[in-house]
Each structure stands twice: as C-alpha cells, then as structure tokens.
Amino acid sequence: MPYLGSEDEVKELKKALCNPHIQADRLRYRNVIQRVIRHMTQGSDMSGVFMEMVKASATIDIVQKKLVYLYMCTYAPLKPDLALLAINTLCKDCSDPNPMVRGLALRSMCSLRLPGVQEYIQQPVLNGLHDKASYVRRVAVLGCAKMHTLHGDSEVDGALVNELYSLLRDQDPIVVVNCLRSLEEILKQEGGVVINKPIAHHLLNRMSKLDQWGQAEVLNFLLRYQPRSEEELFDILNLLDSFLKSSSPGVVMGATKLFLILAKNFPHVQTDVLMQVKGTLLAACSSESRELCFAALCHVRQVLHSLPGHFSSHYKKFFCSYSEPHYIKLQKVEVLCELVNDENVQQVLEELRGYCTDVSADFAQAAIFAIGSIARTYTDQCVQILTELLGLRQEHITTVVVQTFRDLVWLCPQCTEAVCQALPGCEESIQDSEGKQALIWLLGVHGKRIPNAPYVLEDFVENVKSETFPAVKMELLTALLRLFLSRPAECQDMLGRLLYYCIEEEKDMAVRDRGLFYYRLLLAGIDEVKRILRSPQSDPSLRLLEDQAERPVNSWASDFNTLVPVYGKARWATISKCQRVERHGPELPNTASFATSGPLIPEENKERVQELPDSRALMLVPNHQLTAECFEKTWLSLKVAHQQVFPWQGAVHPDTLQMALQVVNIQTIAMNRAGAQPWKAYLSAQDDTGCLFLTELLLEPENLQMQISVKQNKARTETLNSFISVLETVIGTIGDIKS
Amino acid sequence: MSASAVFILDVKGKPLISRNYKGDVAMSEIEHFMPLLMQREEEGALAPLMSHGRVHFLWIKYSNLYLVATTLKNANASLVYSFLYKTVEVFSEYFKELEEESIRDNFVIVYELLDELMDFGFPQTTDSKILQEYITQQGNKLETGKSRVPPTVTNAVSWRSEGIKYKKNEVFIDVIESVNLLVNANGSVLLSEIVGTIKLKVFLSGMPELRLGLNDRVLFELTGLSGSKNKSVELEDVKFHQCVRLSRFDNDRTISFIPPDGDFELMSYRLSTQVKPLIWIESVIEKFSHSRVEIMVKAKGQFKKQSVANSVEISVPVPSDADSPRFKTSVGSAKYMPEKNVVIWSIKSFPGGKEYLMRAHFGLPSVEKEEVEGRPPIGVKFEIPYFTVSGIQVRYMKIIEKSGYQALPWVRYITQSGDYQLRTS
C-alpha cells in the first residue's frame, strides 16, 4: 500500500501480526511476514514490529522461520534487549529433530552480532560441532569464527581450536574446508591456521572430494606449507598436477600459484607449469564471462613479464571482437604489444592498425600507443603505419601519433628522418596540451631537418596570448630557443617577441621565470647557451621510457591470483597506501611523530632503502657483528633512548624481516619464531663513528602495532632519528608487502 | 576468497536485495558503487574491480542487474567472479529469467538461496541440484508437519544423493561443438576454434558407476587401436566435471565417474585445428552518402552435402539512420531490426554445398548525423545436427550399478555457432 507512510505501515503490520485470526491461518500469517520482509528489503525501517516477529518465530513452518530469523539478524543490533528474548526460541530450535532447523537456528544465532550474545551461543555451537548431520557441523564450525569475531579482541579459546583442528578429519568435505576458514579467522593474530605435515598431507588426499571453492581454498592454505625435502615437494606437485587442468578457473589459478611458490628454487619447473596452464589461461581469456576473461588477461600480462614469448604463437586469441567491453579490449592491446615477434609482427600490426580508427577515441589512442611501443623493436614498419594515420587528419589520432613520435625519436634515433618528414601539417589538427607539447618539442629538437619548423612555431608565438596551457608555453620557450641555435636568422625576431611576452605579459609565474631564465642565459653569450642547451640529447641514464627488464617469476608469484595483477601493480600500490592511511591514521595519536622523525620515504620502494644510509649523516657499518652475550650485557646496561610504535598488521615472517634488515646493515641478534606471542626480536647496528644501536621489536598480538625501543651507547639525537627512520622504512616495507 | 556482503542492484544502482555475511563492511558502502562506476566509465577506466577506501567491489553485470561482492581482503578475483556467476546460474534455474522483475517477485527464495550459498563470506553449497532439495520451488506451498530431511545433508559424495529411483533408467548424451570464428574484412580467417562439450542428462537409480569411451587419439595410441579403420580425434585442454576420477584419466585415459542426478556438463575440450568455415559469407555493403545503402550478402554452406544447417540467422549491420528497407532473398526471409541496427536473414534449413543470396536496400536521410559509427561485424548463428566438426564419437557408455539394472544410453551430436563473426570494411 504505497499511499501509506512508513509509520502507518508499521502500525498496520503490527496489528496484523497480533491478530489471532491471522495467526491461526498459516498462509495469511506468512503473507504478513513476507510483507514485513519486503519493506525491509526496500529499505524502510521495520524494527517497530520486532516483538511481534520474535513471537512469529515459534512455528513449524520452516520458510516462515527463515524469514523471521533473517529479520532478527537485520534488526538485532537496533533492538538488543528484545533480541535476547528471541534467543530462547533459537536455543530450542538448535535441538530440533530436523537438521535443517538446527542448522538454520544455529546460523542465525551466530549472525545476530549482539554484544553479550556469546554466552548464549557457546553451548549450542559446541553441541553443533558434534552433530550427526554434516549440515549442522558446517554451520557450527563457521559459528566458532563468528563467535570469535563477536568477542572482538578476546583471547583464543585453546580447547575450541583443538576441537577445530581435529574436525579437519571430518568426513564431510565442506566441514573440513570450513574448519580451515574458521581457524584462519580465529588465529588471525598468530599468523593463521598452522599447516604442518600431517595436515598438509591429509588435505592433499582430500582434494579431489572437495568442490571448486574448497579446492581453491585448500590450495591457498597449502601455500603456507614448506615441504621438508625435495622428494616430498615433487610428490606434492605430482599429486596436484591434475588441478592445473580443472574446469574452474579459480582452481587453476590457485594451483598455478601453489606450483610457482613451491617450486621457487626450480625455475625450470616454474616454466613448465606456466607451459601447462597456457591452454587454460587462453581458454579463460575467451571465456564467456567478461569478468573472468578480464582477470585472466591481467594474469597473462603478468606471465608475459617473465616469459615474453610465452603466448606468441597464440596471438590471434588476443584480437579484439567488436562487442567486447572496453576494459577487455585495452588489456588485449597491451598483451598484443608484449607478445610481438618476428613471425607475427606483420599480422599484429595489421590488426592494431584496424583499431586505430575505432569509433571509441580512447581505444583508438590505446592502439596507437601500442604501435608506438612495438616501434621500439620494429621501427620502420610502425613509423610507416603511424605516418599513414596522420593522413586521416583526425584530431584525436594526430595528437597521439605525435606524442608517440616524440618518445620514439628519443629511443630510436634512427627513425628521426622519417618522423621529420611526416610532421609538416600536423599542427593544424592538434588542439590538446599533450599533443602540442610533443609537436613543439619535436620542432625544437629536430627543427633543423624540418623546413617549415620556424613558421609553425611562429604561429604558436603569434597565438601565445590565447594559449590556455602553461605547459605548452614552457615547451614553446625551450623549443624556440633550441631552434634559434640551429636556425638563428629565422628565429631571432620571434624569439624576442616571445621572451618579451613571457616576461612582460605572462601571468603564470613558472612561464615567466622560465622566460627570464632564458633571457639572462642569452645575455651570457651564445656559446654559453649552446653549451647548456646542446648537452647530449639522448642520455642513456634517462631510461624512464624504456621497457622494464624481464622480471623473474619469483618477483610476482606471491601476487599471482590476488587482486594485485587485476588492479595493476601501480594502482594497487596507491590503493593499499590509501587504505593504510585510513586504517591507521585516525587510530594512532602519534602519527604526527612519523613526520618529524625524518623525511618519509616511499614505502614501496625497497631499492631506495639501500641508498638511504648514504643519503644522510647516518652510515651503518656493513659487517657489524655483535655476539648475543655482548648484546645482552650492553642492553641491560643502557637506558631506552627512544620508544615508538609503528603500524603493523598480520603475522611476522621473520626470514623476510631479517633479510630486509640485513640489506640496511642491521644485524638480527635473536628473533621469535613466526606465530609466537608476544613476538619479539632483538637487533643491533653500528654506525661509522662506532655508535651502537640496540633495538627491541615487540609485537603484541591484539595490537596492530609494532613497538620498538632503541638504546644507544652514545647519546646523539640526530643519528638516532636517522636510525629510527631507517627502521621505520624497513618495517613499513615489510608490513606493506604482507598486507 | 571471502566476501563481506553480496548485493543485487538494479540498473540504476539501487539495491534490490542484499545479504551481509560478515558484518565487517558497512552496508552503506554500496552507495559509493554507482557513482564510482559512472566516474570510471567517464574516465574510460571501467573495470570489473573497483575500490573505495578499504572496500573492494567485484561486480558483474547480468541482464539489467549488477551483482556486487564487497570484500576487504586481497581476494582471489577469478573465484569471486565464478561465485557471482554461479549465483546467477542458481537463480536462473529457480526462476528461468534472472532480471529485476524476477528478483522482486521471488525475494523470499532469493533470501533463502543467499543463505545457503554462502556463510560468513565463504561459498557453501552451490550445486543447484542439491540446493533444490533444501529449498523447493514452491516456496509458497506450506509444508505441514515434519518436513523431509534432504539426504544430502548427511551425504559423503557431495554431488549425488543416495536413494534416487527411476522407473526407466536412461542416460542422454549430448555432444555439442561450438565453432568460434573471426574473419577479417579482407576475408582472411583470423581465428577458428572448436569448443566441445559433452553434456549428460542422467535418469539413473542408485549409485551407478559410469564409463565413457571416446575415439580419443591418445587412448587409441595407448591401446594400439590407431589403425586406418578407426578415426580418432586429438583433444586439447580437456576439462572434466568434479565427479570424474582425474587420476584414472591421467593413467589410462578412462573417463569413469559417479554422475550427479539430472543435467550436468561432463567434460569440455578444445580443438584449434583449422577447419574450413562451415558457413562462409561474402558481403558488399555500399553506402552512398545522403541517399542509400545497398547490401549484398552471399552465404555458402561449406559442409557435407548430407548435412543440413538449421535455424540459420545471419545478422548484417546497417547504419542507425537507415530507413525504408527493401529486401530480396533467394531463400528464407529478411527482417529489419531497427533497435539493433541490423538486418536478420533467417533460413530455416540450409543444406551443405548450397549458396544463397540476399540483397537489401535502405534509404539514408539527406542530413547526415554527426556521430561516427563503428563497423560492427556480420554475425552468423546456426545448428547442424548429427554432425561434429572434430569427428568425435562416443564409442560406448557402460553403466554399472550394484542392483544390476539395464540402462540405455542415447547419444546425440550437434554442431553450432559460437562466437561467429565476419568483420565488414
């Protein structure tokens, strides 16, 4: 009844629910309840009839029960007192003869998310673990995890954990997998469920009985298991071989990851595995589900980083089809440019050329950039195609082609001649900032070979007043000055005009300063200008535009089959950074102290950590060795010089941490095993002045923080701060890798 | 994988129904979904994975619905998408067409299903056969007294219940091959592949043990059958239903299994051997600006004369501003579908070796519209019964059950079009 306000509606439903006649007629009763749920689904507040709904739960109609329980789970947090009343009915249902009812009641009870409900659910959950129906056991096992989450930060119930470990041997496959999931949640603070040899082997043997979700889950947990011997390792790989051919893409990806990680010391095995899953990945790339196809393409790109030729013979699989969504087409174009080789280059370029005239400007531009990156290897063919594209005189095409040319001339100087011939006429169809900058740059640097270069630049100078992009003006200044050096007669006059404009009339300070700078430079004499502007043009140290080198499989294996490749590594880095700030920012009162403890170094950048000691006063001695006894003696004799907490999440991987610390010349004296709690580590380092830094790391299981205490044998605040910021960077990096 | 919550949204992004599994993500987070989607779309950076703050949205679009899973974890993307598609599959089996209307009409069943499909963010029972035992179609019918306990609740083989009984024991085997084809505008074949599936419809009592024999080349070589008499097929990328014992297949290529009840896909395979395109299209599309478009399409059946392609549908793109269509076909009928900007030429039966022609004429307005149009390809749909491109054959199907009943296997072969496209210039 849409004409009734929500309040009237609640009143009316309340009346209906209380009406004994309706209660007597099951069908009508259920209909009223359905109406309540419908309103709830539509987002109206139905918490007003909570009491009546609780009463309605006492029924033998299982559908009605489900609806009422659903209602209760939704509104329980709003009506905690009333919800406790429902517990009675729920408890009673937990011992119903029908396993469906028992399961339902138990599941609902655990999902109530009420403070104080734990004491009521504990017993039913424990009973449920031993229920004879697997349906109830499945629910009860996950109920343990829910119970733990409800407790919040409470201590782990050892008996319950043992119970769950023993239920890993349950005969129902879903119970087994749920046990793993539940233990993982409960033991989150201690590094999750422990997979030792008996458990690992037990799980391996049960694999074929599990459904695809279970298989994928178990494969993920097995990542944690480290086989004791090479023999065992290969036995496991053999056992899992068939899962590389599973019909579920999730399982195939999971199995691939496990193989890559387990075989991290056997590159040929890794290559072999990637060969084996090639077919499956390819099939997933033409999957009917676009999203699965997208995820597969992202992973194909990942694989191509390490094995560039891997998919080359199947390049046609990556040709775009008309109706595919944008995100798939863009991925496919990226893949295509990575698998180009001598045999397929002709066909791939032919195909890409077709995309360049696509109706979607974004896609067309992506295709042109792709041709540009192929041009680094197959220059002549690509430059020819790009030149032909200029003939179309389409704004969005020309601008991207010119940008591609700019990058290309830098990387492949041999194509300069061809590019210079193609340029005249482009200026007419370029409107955007990026394109103009690229064109002006080209005219400036290679203007010698382009007859009409000064006249094109002159047009820009004429219109500089109406130019909206400061970056274009900056580029124009530089280019014109460069061209002036090679063709002074044609440029002198307009250079003067441009400088005059920039200095006298320009409002953008950067442009004005650049103009002044060049003006003063010119005052210093033409030889000086030449010396400065004509330094080597193609500096090999400027490798920003060049392809990144092949990456070893191990560098991305741990990211395989997560969201990282699907987002793209760069995007993932920004996302996880934002998330960290959000997670820790408001909670930590001492965030401000981070800023004062030294300039923050991008935490993702591990290489930078290495340079760090040189970049400041602190120099840690590389081969500093301190015995444990000596450390203990010194530690006890000193006072704590500095104490601080760093954000941290999840468990510690001592090996990784130790390695990272070693990189920055910090020695690890002693360290707890992973999973110990509280987890502690003692570190030592010495700088070139002989000052010792002794450090204790302490990780309390319930905090998301790593507490550090540093002691120093000479009191020097400056080096202490530097040391702490080094430590912070390392810990930040490690924490980052793991999150 | 773990999902914090699952949402079903209408096309405008309004939640139709949702289920909060974990309670670690506020349900209001979904309000960010649609604005984010629009923003990404505008930037040309739309992807089925987006993030807002700590929350990751993994979503799929199905008819006029968005299915969105939210998670805080660095989850396994393929698995989440698979789960969402599985959800679609299950819903579709319950109410045929999955769309906004059917969700609204069946919200009780949707809630029930969401409850069983996932618990605490982890997929539970997703097999629709088994779900149908928990949740009956007739949700509205009142179950009186004690309801029957579904046997799978206490079962060891997760995909088949005990105690199934049929009067007549039968298995229907469908061998279906789909042909994917992509042809360039200049007539060169860019891509041609065959994706085969073997689907079973099982009406068998008890716990039967099945064994399927194919003319698999590897098997023939293993057993020395590879004479000139037996034609064999080399299968690639063979994938099986969970019920097939993979270890046995790896050892001696035997396909043995205890089947689920009813319909399921037993296996799939792929063949990338180049075959002649079954239906070849030549087209001339001449566009005279401001006046008319003339289309000539020639279709040729390049398969055996004895075979017949049924329900052939050739869709030819026309400009969106075309009007006053006129057609002439040598066989079948042509129809203009202005909402899709195509002409559909349908031919009920198309024997192999034959060649047919269609001509179409459209008027164009004298004022040209501004936006540029893409060049959609010509698409072809067809079905050729009693024929497989690969030549795969079912040699035998053995059915053994401890009660010893006789069961009949029925085999049917069909080849159909998959993604069959010919680009136009």
Residues B332 and B220 placed together within one structural domain of the fold: no
Cβ(B309)–Cβ(B303) below 8 Å:
yes
**Chain B residues lying within 8 Å of A67, measured CB to CB:** 108, 111
CB within 8 A of B256, min separation 6: which ones? Answer: B209, B210, B211, B212, B244, B245, B248
Distance from CA of A579 to the nearest CA of B (A): 5
Chain A partners of B48 at a C-beta cutoff of 8 Å? 290-291, 294-295, 327
Mean model confidence pLDDT for chain A: 83
Residue A632 in this model has a pLDDT that exceeds 50: yes
pLDDT for residue B139: 42
Domain boundaries, chain A: 342-431, 434-533, 628-736
Beta bridge partners of A222: none
Strands of the sheet with A667-671, listed across from one edge: A640-647, A705-712, A692-699, A679-686, A667-671
Residue B157 lies in a domain: no
Answer yes or no: do A567 and B75 touch at CB < 8 A: no
For the stretch A411-460, pLDDT in tens is 888 888 899 988 888 888 888 999 999 999 999 888 888 888 899 999 99
Place of tokens 């509280």: A678
Sign of CA dihedral B398, B403, B408, B413: negative
Confidence class for position A617, pLDDT limits 50, 70, 90 = low
Distances (CA, A) of A188 to A138, A254, B280: 20, 21, 60
Of B320, B322, B313, B310, give the one whose Cα is nearest residue B360: B322
Q: Prior bond to A678 cis, omega within 30? A: yes
Q: Tell me, yes or no, whether B13 and B123 share the same domain.
A: yes
Helices (H), A524-649: 526-533, 553-557, 563-567, 569-584, 591-596, 606-615, 628-637
- Confirm or reject contact between B101 and chain A (CB < 8 A): no
The residues pairing with B16 across neighbouring beta strands, listed in sequence order, are none
Per-residue tokens: B28: 């209001």
The amino acid that residue B108 corresponds to is V
Sort out which chain B residues have CB atoms less than 8 A from A113's CB and list them: 23
Answer whether residue B144 is part of any domain. no
Q: For A212, which residue in chain B has the nearest alpha carbon?
A: B242
Residue B249 lies in a domain: yes
pLDDT at A548: 57
Report chain B residues whose CB lies below 8 A from the CB of A578: 53
Name the residue type at position A681.
A
Residue in chain A nearest B193 by alpha carbon? A317
Residue B211, domain extent: 168-273+388-420
User: Mean pLDDT, to the nearest integer, of A612-623?
Assistant: 58
* Domain presence at residue B156: no
What is the mean pLDDT, run by run of 10 residues, along chain B of 425 residues?
Answer: 89 90 87 92 88 91 93 87 92 87 88 91 85 64 42 60 87 94 89 92 92 86 68 83 84 89 90 85 88 92 92 92 90 92 94 94 83 84 92 91 89 93 88
pLDDT digits (tens, 9 = 90+) for A336-378: 988 899 999 999 999 999 999 888 888 999 999 999 989 988 9
CA dist A581 → A189, A575, A591, B25 (Å): 21, 10, 10, 17
Side chain identity at residue A32, one-letter code: V
B149 in any annotated domain? no
**How far is C-alpha A460 from the geometric centre of its chain's CA atoms?**
43
pLDDT of A607 > 50? The answer is no
pLDDT at B171: 94
- Each as own residue / partner, the long-range contacts of residues A588-594 (CB below 8 Å, 24 or more positions apart, any chain) are A588/A645, A588/A647, A588/A705, A590/A644, A590/A645, A593/A644, A594/A728
What's the whole-number mean pLDDT along residues A205-223?
Answer: 90
Question: Distance from first CA to last CA of chain A, Å, rounded?
Answer: 50
For the four alpha carbons of A555, A560, A565 and A567, in that order, the dihedral sign comes to negative
Angle, helix A134-151 to helix A118-129, in steps of 10 degrees: 150
Q: Is residue B23 part of a domain?
A: yes
Domain's final residue, options B82, B103, B130: B130
Using alpha carbons, select from B396, B299, B399 the residue that is nearest to residue B353. B299
Judge contact between A710 and A648, C-beta under 8 A. no
pLDDT digits (tens, 9 = 90+) for A674-684: 767 777 888 88
Q: Which residues contact A5 (CB under 8 A, 6 or more apart)?
A: none
Q: How confident is the model at residue A591 (pLDDT cuts 50, 70, 90)?
A: very low
**B375 lies within 8 A of chain A by CB:** yes
Name the residue of chain B whose CA is nearest to A178's CA.
B122
CATH class, domain A628-736, is: alpha beta
Q: Is the same domain home to B269 and B284?
A: no
CATH number, domain containing residue B74: 3.30.450.60
- In the predicted structure, residue A267 carries a pLDDT above the cut 60: yes
Q: Which one of B17, B74, B147 has the shortest CB-CB distance to A562?
A: B74
Is B263 a member of any domain?
yes
Whether A27 and B142 lie within 8 Å, measured CB to CB: yes
Q: How many Cβ pairs closer than 8 A exist between chain A and B?
A: 220
What is the reported pTM? Answer: 0.79
What CATH number corresponds to the domain at position B231?
2.60.40.1170
Q: Are residues B7 and B120 in the same domain?
A: yes
**Which two structure tokens, joined as six digits, stand for B190?**
């860019």
Same domain, B98 and B18: yes
Q: For A136-154, what is each residue's pLDDT tens digit? A: 999 999 999 988 888 776 6
Q: B352: phi > 0 → left, psi -120 to 50 → alpha, else beta; which?
A: beta
Interface pTM, i.e. ipTM: 0.83
For position B229, what pLDDT does the model report?
Answer: 61
Task: Decide if B39 is inside a domain.
Answer: yes
* B71 and B103 part of one domain: yes
